[in-house]
Amino acid sequence: MSHYSGSVDRDVWFAAHFEIAVEQICEFFAGDGISLQGKRVADVGCGDGIIDLGLTLRAQPASLVGLDISPTDVDHLRSKALEHAGVTELPPELSFVHCSETGFPIEDGSFDYVVSWSAFEHIGDPVSVLREIRRVLTADGVLFIQLWPFFDSEHGTHLVEWFPEGFAQHRYSQEQILLRMTEETFSDRAEVMYREYRTLNQITADGLHLALRQAGFVIAKLHLQADAVHVPVEMADMPPSRMGISGVKLLAVPSF
């Protein structure tokens, strides 16, 4: 899977992951007195690995393993690290592992902390992946999840560049969405993004909570993101918690 990188300004993309996401992860943990320094950390759905590089350099874990169903392109990461951060070598503590949709080739209890950024709305079977995370975490381990945007929220389609007015998933048919995206020329990026939109798992905040409970976690800290939105008449009957919650950051701990 590509990671929306087609026409996105690479400096903005790099900084959003290398600096902003890393800072938010570290601050969310630090708010609970948690430091990743010297700890064994994994990132589930690591994508291009930019967050993992930033997190390794900033938080100084003993090891950081990025897991993804799409193998991370380490040469590409190395060249972006040099271009945008002047980093000449990837740190030896950082590695990447190719996993399957529902399984990690990792021994039980291998990690003190697991993080996941912008991945859980893409994961086909969230309960199975959360069970795998529970398996590879230590009994007193902590899981950090960031998810944005939830499917039902204003830009839950991930198609804001074609639908700046928002809520396209509730206003338009699939045919209308595809037509708008292909009105000009059917670019590779439009094709990739439409496919990605169609494979979103449509998880809600409550659905994520349920999945965590089914996998043996309890939420220990919760930050819901909810900004003011204008509600199209087509959505008059949708519960506000579904259309109004755009994202989440949370810490979860094993319950058994």
Ligand X SMILES: C[S@@+](CC[C@H](N)C(=O)[O-])C[C@H]1O[C@@H](n2cnc3c(N)ncnc32)[C@H](O)[C@@H]1O
14-43 binders of ligand X (CB under 6 A): 17
Nearer to ligand X, 16 or 219 (CB): 16
- Which two three-digit tokens encode residue 31? 């708010």
188-207 binders of ligand X (CB under 6 A): none
Q: Which stretch binds ligand X (CB under 6 A): 115-123, 162-170, 171-179, 224-232?
A: 115-123
Reply yes or no: is the peptide bond before residue 149 cis, omega within 30 of 0: yes
At its nearest, how many Å lie between ligand X and the CB of residue 85?
Answer: 15
Residue from the set 101, 161, 206, 227 that interacts with ligand X by CB under 6 A: 101
Asked if 47 interacts with ligand X (CB under 6 A), we say yes
Q: Judge contact between 218 and 255, C-beta under 8 A.
A: yes
Phi and psi (nearest 5°) for 22? -60, -45
CA distances to 164, 170, 209, 223 from 230, in Å: 12, 13, 26, 22
User: Is the four-CA dihedral 42, 47, 50, 51 of positive or negative sign?
Assistant: negative
Going along the chain, which residue ranges are E strands?
40-44, 63-68, 94-98, 111-117, 137-147, 217-225, 247-254
Asked if 136 interacts with ligand X (CB under 6 A), we say no
At its nearest, how many Å lie between ligand X and the CB of residue 47?
Answer: 3
Asked if 70 interacts with ligand X (CB under 6 A), we say yes
Asked if 11 interacts with ligand X (CB under 6 A), we say no
Residue from the set 26, 36, 44, 177 that interacts with ligand X by CB under 6 A: 44
Residue from the set 69, 127, 160, 226 that interacts with ligand X by CB under 6 A: 69
Asked if 55 interacts with ligand X (CB under 6 A), we say no
User: For binding to ligand X (CB under 6 A), which residues are involved?
Assistant: 1, 3, 17, 44-48, 51, 67-70, 99, 101, 117-119, 122-123, 129
